[in-house]
């Protein structure tokens, strides 16, 4: 119970079956193995053509490493009040070390490839919009539900981007003779992200069922009008993300990943019978355009 009297451990209106669906996702996360950094380091040391790998995937790996390191340091407790024992708290107990581990693993790879590592954002820095959303979330159950739905929907969209990126990075690595690296690093990280996605998407799907129409409309408007790909919220980061798309997509002007990320938003946010604007496609194409302009 918070100082304002708002309890954050349960979602009003959810049935036992709906809570059980979320519980299954959290339980799967808590039972999985962590990424083995020693094994990754061993595999990295056996890469036969590091120069080829650096030329083909260096930019994508640098971007992914920076994002994984940064998101692990975000103060989710500021954005979304929770108890350590509720589903959000239990999820974060797994998610934060996962993201941090992914960042460290890719830092090991970058160092072996002779590529610079971007320092993570300061752990003391909490984005202003997170502070504002957190303050609103503490005011009432209605505001908390809006923040939670936004957080879980964006989380699902971000994880689907990561899954697509690591799938393509694994494909490229295999194509240049680094199949062992593809399995030990990229496919292993993709497995973690897939379980994260399952939690985010399930939680948001259950929460949608108890939101009022005006709450869902607020979430929909916020995401449609402010969405940016993970790690590319600031203008300086949009062109580097565009370079990742160019490196990984067969048709960067019409990236296939935009469709699957848009589908998540459509499923979780759209009114029955309505189609959301293609805001994901617009943002990804904008990043590609900025990457070419520079």
Residue 174's domain spans which residues?
Answer: 16-119+127-212
Q: Where are the beta strands (DSSP E) in 144-259?
A: none
Question: Quick check: is 39 in a domain?
Answer: yes
Size (the chain), residues: 294
pLDDT confidence tier of residue 25, bands split at 50, 70 and 90: very high
Question: Quick check: is 141 in a domain?
Answer: yes
Does residue 95 register a pLDDT over 80?
yes
The whole model's pTM is what?
A: 0.91
Spatial separation of the C-alpha atoms in residues 52 and 115, rounded to whole Å? 13
What is the number of alpha carbons within 13 Å of residue 279 lying toward its C-beta? 19
Higher pLDDT: 95 or 84? It is: 95
pLDDT digits (tens, 9 = 90+) for 244-275: 999 999 999 999 999 999 999 999 999 999 99
What is residue 77's predicted lDDT score, i.e. its pLDDT?
65
What is residue 2's predicted lDDT score, i.e. its pLDDT?
43
Residue 253 sits at the vertex; the CA angle it makes with 181 and 162, to the nearest 5 degrees, is 35
CB contact set of 37 (below 8 Å; sequence gap of 6+): 101, 104, 105, 108
Does residue 162 register a pLDDT over 60?
yes
3-class DSSP state for residue 177? coil
Mean pLDDT of 140-163: 92
Spatial separation of the C-alpha atoms in residues 169 and 98, rounded to whole Å? 18
Mean pLDDT of 41-52: 97
Residue 8 sits at the vertex; the CA angle it makes with 84 and 159, to the nearest 5 degrees, is 70
Q: Which of left, alpha, beta for 123 (phi over 0: left; psi -120 to 50: alpha)? A: alpha
What is residue 38's predicted lDDT score, i.e. its pLDDT?
97
Question: Quick check: is 238 in a domain?
Answer: no
Determine the angle formed by the axes of helices 256-269 and 279-293, rounding to 10 degrees. 150
How many domains in the chain?
1
pLDDT confidence tier of residue 13, bands split at 50, 70 and 90: confident
Question: Quick check: is 106 in a domain?
Answer: yes
Mean pLDDT of 55-61: 97
What is residue 80's predicted lDDT score, i.e. its pLDDT?
77
Question: Quick check: is 217 in a domain?
Answer: no
CB contact set of 248 (below 8 Å; sequence gap of 6+): 60, 164, 165, 168, 169, 172
Does residue 239 register a pLDDT over 50?
yes
Mean pLDDT of 120-138: 55
Question: Quick check: is 33 in a domain?
Answer: yes
Mean pLDDT of 183-188: 98
What is residue 220's predicted lDDT score, i.e. its pLDDT?
98
Q: How many CB atoms lie within 10 A of CB 241?
A: 26
Question: Quick check: is 231 in a domain?
Answer: no
Question: Quick check: is 100 in a domain?
Answer: yes
Contact 288, 236 (CB under 8 A): no
């Amino acid at each position: 119970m918070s100082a304002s009297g708002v309890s954050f451990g349960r979602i009003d209106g959810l049935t036992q079956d709906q809570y059980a669906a979320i519980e299954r996702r959290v339980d799967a996360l808590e039972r999985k193995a962590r990424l083995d950094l020693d094994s990754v380091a061993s595999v990295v040391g056996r890469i036969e053509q590091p120069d080829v790998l650096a030329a083909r995937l260096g930019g994508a790996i640098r971007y992914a490493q920076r994002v994984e390191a940064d998101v692990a340091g975000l103060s989710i407790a500021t954005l979304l009040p929770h108890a350590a024992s509720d589903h959000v708290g239990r999820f974060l107990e797994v998610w934060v070390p996962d993201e941090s581990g992914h960042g460290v693993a890719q830092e090991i790879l970058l160092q072996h490839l002779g590529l610079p590592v971007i320092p993570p954002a300061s752990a003391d820095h909490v984005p202003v919009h997170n502070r504002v959303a957190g303050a609103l979330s503490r005011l009432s159950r209605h505001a908390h539900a809006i923040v939670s739905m936004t957080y879980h929907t964006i989380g699902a969209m971000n994880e689907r981007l990561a899954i697509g990126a690591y799938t393509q990075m694994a494909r490229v690595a295999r194509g240049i003779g680094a199949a062992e690296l593809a399995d030990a690093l990229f496919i292993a990280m993709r497995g973690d992200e897939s379980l994260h996605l399952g939690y985010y998407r399930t939680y948001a799907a259950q929460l949608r069922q108890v939101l009022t129409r005006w709450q869902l409309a607020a979430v929909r408007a916020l995401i449609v009008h402010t969405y940016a790909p993970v790690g590319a919220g600031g203008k300086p980061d949009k062109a580097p993300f565009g370079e990742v798309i160019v490196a990984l997509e067969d048709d960067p002007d019409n990236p296939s990943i935009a469709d699957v990320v848009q589908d998540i938003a459509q499923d979780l946010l759209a009114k029955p019978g309505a189609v959301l604007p293609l805001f994901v496609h617009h943002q990804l194409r904008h990043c590609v355009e900025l990457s070419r302009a520079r």
